[in-house]
Amino acid sequence: MFPRNLSPKSAQQRLTVAGVLLASAALTLSLMSGTASAAPPPSDSAVPQGKGYMGVGYVQDSKDFKPDTRQLNLDTTPDANLLANPVGVDISSWQGSINWGSVRGAGIEFAWMKATEGTSYKDPTFSANYLGAYNAGVIRGAYHFARPDVSGGAAQANFFASNGGAWSRDNLTLPGVLDIEGTCYGKTPAAMQSWILDFYNTYKARTGRDVVIYTSASWWNSCTGGWTGMSARSPLWVAHWTSAGSPSIPQGFPFWTVWQYTSTGSVSGVSGNVDRDRFSGDRSRLLALANNTP
């Protein structure tokens, strides 16, 4: 959910002065051709309208990020208990047509899919994916790609809730996700905090659910100032592409609920690379999140 065939480290090494120009040109060609394998945009460039997907901003978020080593697990041996927890994917129109029966047969238990972006864009594959996942028994939910540069948070929450982000207690529907990444959109940390809170309050009023926040440590620490105000409200879905046993999480959050651990996963039923995710608890806790139960 940026270049699906490059590691963050190798992508960063390419961002020299000349490389920034090449990266920008490559992104433009990629978006025109409908692939998701281009270099990321420069860190001061916003993703073109309608072209956002989870992880598109991960590299430019992380380019100058110096992690808090107190929050890092540097042991690269996977935790056996964690590996036993539910695994999932997140997808958008970049993945094209998906065979959800094959996805479920491959052991995928949950999936979030892009529904909306800003206040006007609707992902053209959302309806088919949302129904297909449901019929295959995949616990599914919708996500909204945030564009704080085009409107206030309340307007985007309303657009999301009206176009795929609603919720029902049916044992197969997860709460909606606010995907917030990339640049800081020219906002101060205080202004960004206000934008996120407006989105959260409006979404909760519309659906009765706490929106899940998808972000990276670098983006949250930089663009919200490591804000603690959402940790008691929203589950955290953290992007950290690593082979380490656990992710680095943003300041202001005590723990993660979902971890996007790679952008180059492979799953039967999905063509090409797909983001892979892991849930922090067992299946009973995943169902509790879906059904809003203790």
Catalytic residue annotation: 90, 179, 181
Query: From CA 120, how far away is CA 94, in angstroms rounded?
Result: 18
Give me Rg for the CA atoms of the chain.
18
Helix (H) or strand (E) holding 19: helix 17-33
Q: Is 253 exposed, middle or buried (0-12, 13-18, 19+ CB in 10 A)?
A: buried
Query: From CA 113, how far away is CA 105, in angstroms rounded?
Result: 18
For residue 37, give both structure tokens. Answer: 């394998």
The CA-atom distances, in angstroms, between 83 and each of 80, 238, 245, 261 are: 5, 17, 10, 12
Q: What is the largest CA-CA distance in the chain?
A: 53
The DSSP bridge pattern shows strands 274-279 and 108-117 to be: unpaired
